[in-house]
């Protein structure tokens, strides 16, 4: 898998990269004069793992962080590029009948994508599938929000989402879309085998072709007055229902 250098920023994202993937952290920039104990901890961990640390002013950090809040720390990171589309069958096979796939149909807000990836990593998801077009892609914002999860799980950008869903079905994966108008709830599903959970985008939910390709539609029961949940919240609920059943 080839590498591409980029900056990651923020305390959680940098700390996670040093802890989980130190060999790909090229250097760490820390705000000079900061009294934040988390930054001291990050510096000590970096030096312990032979990662170069530079003390810089806040302006230099803002220069690499762009619009993101850097919280006094940034790291130059050789991030792995996305998992290739052709690797998905092997990942499903290696899961030995227990593949749990998260499919995001045109989730366009990087903060939502980052939060979904964080939940996916916590739930032990096999892979996250996103479209190449009309979808947020894994960038610095996503990495920051995901707190390092973006580089610990397989994220696959596909050219044709409906075709990819059909290929999953041929490999023995049951594909379920989350939709508010569904009659069956997610708690009534058996989520213990090869399962893909498909979440719709922020504006329009599941696209028609995606919806028609699913084996079934389910909903999260909501007895309150709100009609829908933020996609990252719904993703967390759906994934951890699968985790609950598998435990």
Cα 9 to its chain centre, rounded Å, is 17
229 is in an annotated binding site: yes
Alpha-carbon dihedral of residues 242, 138, 172, 189, nearest 10 degrees?
A: 20
Phi-psi bin for 179: left (phi > 0), alpha (psi -120 to 50), beta?
beta
97 is in an annotated binding site: no
The H-or-E segment that residue 58 falls in is helix 58-65
How many other C-beta atoms are found inside a 10 Å radius of the C-beta of residue 241? Answer: 19
Strand pairing category for 155-158 and 184-185: unpaired
Which of 195, 188, 200 lies closest to 234 in space, CA to CA? Answer: 200
Query: What is d(CA 27, CA 229) in angstroms, rounded to the nearest whole number?
Result: 39
161 is in an annotated binding site: no
Query: What is d(CA 32, CA 72) in angstroms, rounded to the nearest whole number?
Result: 8
Query: What is d(CA 107, CA 207) in angstroms, rounded to the nearest whole number?
Result: 11
Query: What is d(CA 135, CA 105) in angstroms, rounded to the nearest whole number?
Result: 8
Q: Which residues are annotated as a binding site?
A: 200, 220, 229
Q: Which residues are annotated as a binding site for S-adenosyl-L-methionine?
A: 200, 220, 229
């Amino acid at each position: 898998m080839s590498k591409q250098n980029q900056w990651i920023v923020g305390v959680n994202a940098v700390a996670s990269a040093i802890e989980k993937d130190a060999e790909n952290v090229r250097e760490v920039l820390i705000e000079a004069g900061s009294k934040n104990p988390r930054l001291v901890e990050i510096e000590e961990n970096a030096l312990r793992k032979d990662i170069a640390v530079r003390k810089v002013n806040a302006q230099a950090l803002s220069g690499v962080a762009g619009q993101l809040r850097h919280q006094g720390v940034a790291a130059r990171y050789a991030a792995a590029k996305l998992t290739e589309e052709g690797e998905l069958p092997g990942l499903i096979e290696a899961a030995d009948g227990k593949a749990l796939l998260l499919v995001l149909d045109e989730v366009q807000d990087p903060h939502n994508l980052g939060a979904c990836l964080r939940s996916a990593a916590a739930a032990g998801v096999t892979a996250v599938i996103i479209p190449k077009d009309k979808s947020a892609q894994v960038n610095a914002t996503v990495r920051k929000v995901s707190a390092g999860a973006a580089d610990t799980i397989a994220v696959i950008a596909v050219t044709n989402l409906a075709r990819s869903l059909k290929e999953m079905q041929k490999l023995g994966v049951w594909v379920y879309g989350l939709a508010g108008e569904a009659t069956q709830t997610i708690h009534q599903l058996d989520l213990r085998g090869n399962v893909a959970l498909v979440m719709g985008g922020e504006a329009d939910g599941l696209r028609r072709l995606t919806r028609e390709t699913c084996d079934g539609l389910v909903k999260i029961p909501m007895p309150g007055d709100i009609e829908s949940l933020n996609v990252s919240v719904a993703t967390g609920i759906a994934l951890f229902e699968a985790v609950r059943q598998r435990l």
